[in-house]
Every structure is written in structure tokens, then in C-alpha cells.
């Protein structure tokens, strides 16, 4: 019996070494999130109707003016606050270019309202709790939060410039420069 147990144990060890890692679904973990491809320059903006924190409806593919659509992970966190405040501080110049700004995160309406009020943000914040907007723009979602990616749209609703990996500090100036191109 002892010899049989040793053989069985050796076989188990051999097969265990050859076995592939279990998939997250089978091991109880969450599935890895795929990394989508962001919309390319020249692509039309997705034809989505969204509701901003102000209650105003916006049709992303039919804004009729230049726009910045910027994705950020979470309201009222250090990096996201820096980015939002920089855009706010350049608001007169951005508005002077004829553009509107739409910030998108996976936070809800109440969170956006509080964030906009706390920092006196004069632009639109749009909730994307189901990740539909991020998916349409090809923005990655990790741990339930959108990656920091920005798009500048022209007046016809086409992508004019993409910032695929945004650093919050200095991004407001980058956006303003892209609007002036």
C-alpha cells in the first residue's frame, strides 16, 4: 500500500507541474480586463447621448463645436483634482476657442455634482457607471475605473487629437494647445 501511495503522489506531482494555471474564472478571481484600442485620429466620435451632472443631455457625435472629452479614474482624488482644476483655470481660453469640455468617469451623478461644486468646475461631468462611453471610445477600464485618456474633437465630431497616457499636471495646457491647432 505504501508503494502505491508513493507512485500516486509522484504522478500527482508530475501532472501538477505540467498543468496550466487556472483561469481567473475557475479560481474565483475576476477575469482580466482587455485593453481596447482607443479611437484613432480622424474617427467619428461615438453617437452616444449622455446626461451631464447638470442634467443637460449631450449627443457626443453631434455637438456642432470643438470638444474635449477626457476620461479620468475618480472624482476628488489627487491626480483627478489636479487635472480638473487645471482645465477650470484655463476655462476662459478653452471657452474662447469655442470648445466645450466633458469629463467622464465611472463615478455616479451625485459624485460628479459634489466634485463640480467643491472645485467650481464650469464644464460637464458625465457618469459612465456601465462603462459604455469608455468602451465606445476604446478607453481601458481597470479595477472598475477608466484610464486617463483625452480626446479633442473638431466641430464635425471627428477625433482631432488623442492623448493616450495623460499626466494630470500640465494637461490643461496640452488640451488648450490642441484646440488651437
C-alpha of 71 from chain center: 4
Residue 175 phi/psi, 5-degree rounding, is -65, -45
Selected catalytic residue, list 80, 102, 133, 141: 80
The CA-CA-CA angle for residues 111, 117, 123, to 5°, reads: 90
Grid coordinates 501511495 are at which residue? 5
What DSSP assignment string belongs to the chain? -HHHHHHHHHHHHHHHHHSPPPPHHHHTSPPPPP-PPPPPTTPBPP--EEE-TTS-EEEGGG-SS-EEEEE-S-TTSHHHHHHHHHHHHTHHHHHHTT-EEEEEESS-HHHHHHHHHHHT--SEEEE-TTSHHHHHHT--EETTEE--EEEEE-TTSBEEEEESS--STTHHHHHHHHHH-
Q: Is 80 a catalytic residue?
A: yes
Which sequence positions are flagged as catalytic? 80
Amino acid at each position: 500500500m505504501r508503494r502505491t501511495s508513493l507512485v500516486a503522489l509522484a504522478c500527482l506531482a508530475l501532472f501538477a507541474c505540467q498543468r496550466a494555471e487556472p483561469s481567473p474564472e475557475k479560481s474565483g478571481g475576476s477575469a482580466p480586463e482587455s485593453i481596447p484600442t482607443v479611437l484613432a485620429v480622424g474617427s467619428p466620435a461615438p453617437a452616444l447621448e449622455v446626461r451631464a451632472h447638470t442634467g443637460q443631455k449631450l449627443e457626443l457625435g453631434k455637438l456642432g463645436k470643438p470638444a474635449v472629452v477626457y476620461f479620468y479614474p475618480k472624482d476628488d482624488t489627487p491626480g483627478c483634482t489636479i487635472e480638473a482644476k487645471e482645465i477650470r483655470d484655463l476655462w476662459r481660453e478653452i471657452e474662447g476657442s469655442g470648445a466645450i469640455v466633458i469629463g467622464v468617469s465611472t463615478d455616479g451623478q451625485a459624485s460628479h455634482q459634489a466634485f463640480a461644486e467643491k472645485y467650481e468646475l464650469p464644464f460637464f461631468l458625465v457618469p459612465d457607471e456601465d462603462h459604455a462611453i469608455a468602451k465606445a471610445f476604446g478607453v481601458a477600464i481597470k479595477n472598475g475605473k477608466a484610464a486617463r485618456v483625452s480626446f479633442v474633437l473638431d466641430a464635425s465630431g471627428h477625433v482631432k487629437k488623442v492623448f493616450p497616457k495623460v499626466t494630470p499636471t500640465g494637461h490643461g495646457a496640452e488640451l488648450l494647445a490642441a484646440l488651437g491647432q
